[in-house]
Amino acid sequence: MNTQVPPITGHVLNIQHFCVDDGPGIRTTVFLKGCPLRCVWCHNPESHEAAAEILYRAERCRACGRCAALCERGAHTLTADGGHSYDRTKCIRCGSCVKGCRVEALEQAGERQTVEEVLAEILTDRVFYATSGGGVTVSGGEPTAQAAFTEALLTACRHEGLHTCLESCGWCSAEIMRRLIPCTDLFLLDFKISDDIRHRHYTGVSNRPILENLALLKEHHARVILRCPLIPDVNTDTAHYDGIASVVNKHENIEQIDLEPYHPMGIGKSAALGKEAAYTHTEFLDPAVAERAKEYLERRVSVPVRISGKQ
């Protein structure tokens, strides 16, 4: 009788090396797929679904025909006028076409990997963690949506003596959050919109579970950095800033606020996924808006306020 336990696997979007904005020091950030929120401004729409997805950027395509030759389902065809047609209804997202594309017009977002496979790649950066005070950050999508894999990966990293961060929207059950506290050195917790009705409108869910998990993290004395996206016409107002300040002042375990200015990367990615972007603001956030938010919050909280991407 075979009693061997199968390895724990997860849907991994990608692994980025030498990250400096996902926690202290130089970090390796593991992005997982799957998210319970649908923030209209999301810059990683390819992380929403747990399964692998195919991005197609028509402007890069040279209609060479390699993808059509590799696709057994006929999802890719060459047109009579010498162009290329991609029928997503026939696509099973196997990724065969991606392997044949030499101009990166096709890209596969996500693949199943084991904890051991991900850990092996993480450990190639160990020397940089030691010299910079860095470590590993598990992000998403939403890593709590793959709780078993996230817990196993963070635990394996801790066994290797690595500093661990969890970047999360905080929208999960208290049971899952309790499981992740012992294997996480620092939580990077999103706080998107203070008002619950507006939060439901722009993200699809209530912010109450997030507030409950913030209280749970406080109860367990977990270290938290609050990450606050600044989205034009959504949450760049003093009422929301007052909400941020109120949350921070109620939770002494929150040690910093990171303001994250909006960028329009998600619009192009949505198009590449064959989807229509829900939020089509094409300009980056005016830096002056972020500076005003920083100054406003600094007068109302006692923790550092930082604008992400700005040292």
* Predicted confidence (pLDDT) per residue in 252-284, tens digit: 999 999 999 999 999 999 999 999 999 999 999
pLDDT tens string 66-98: 999 999 999 999 998 889 999 999 999 999 999
In this prediction, residue 82 carries a pLDDT of: 87
In this prediction, residue 288 carries a pLDDT of: 97
Residue 194 has pLDDT above 70, yes or no: yes
* Whole-Å CA distances, 260 to 47, 58, 198, 287: 18, 30, 19, 11
Q: Residue ranges of the domains in the chain?
A: 9-50+110-307, 55-108
Residue 311 has pLDDT above 60, yes or no: no
Q: CATH for 9-50+110-307, among 3.90.550.10, 3.20.20.70, 3.30.572.10, 1.10.760.10?
A: 3.20.20.70
pLDDT tens string 197-233: 999 999 999 999 999 999 999 999 999 999 999 999 9
What integer is the mean pLDDT of 86-114? 95
3-state secondary structure of 1: coil
In which band, very low, low, confident or very high, does the pLDDT at 4 lie, cut at 50, 70 and 90? low
Q: What are phi and psi of 70, to 5 degrees?
A: -90, -25
What's 235's DSSP letter? Answer: T
In this prediction, residue 117 carries a pLDDT of: 97
In this prediction, residue 2 carries a pLDDT of: 55
Domain spanning 55-108, CATH architecture: 2-Layer Sandwich (3.30)
Question: Residue 155's closest CA among 189, 122, 190?
Answer: 122
Residue 5 has pLDDT above 80, yes or no: no
Between 157 and 3, name the one with better pLDDT. 157
The set of residues, in sequence order, having a beta carbon less than 8 Å from that of 159 and lying 6+ positions away, is: none
3-state secondary structure of 89: helix
In this prediction, residue 7 carries a pLDDT of: 87
* Whole-Å CA distances, 142 to 90, 190, 220, 278: 28, 11, 21, 19
In this prediction, residue 176 carries a pLDDT of: 98
What's 112's DSSP letter? Answer: E
- Average pLDDT along the chain: 95
pLDDT tens string 133-191: 999 999 999 999 999 999 999 999 999 999 999 999 999 999 999 999 999 999 999 99
Cross-sheet strand order for the sheet of 254-261: 111-114, 9-19, 27-32, 135-139, 163-168, 186-190, 224-230, 254-261, 305-307
The one-letter code for the residue type at 235 is: N
Helices (H), 140-225: 147-159, 174-180, 196-203, 208-219
What integer is the mean pLDDT of 25-40? 97
Domain 55-108 in the same topology as domain 9-50+110-307: no
The one-letter code for the residue type at 308 is: S
Between 243 and 7, name the one with better pLDDT. 243
Answer for the pair 209, 172: CB distance below 8 angstroms, yes or no. yes
Residue 3 has pLDDT above 70, yes or no: no
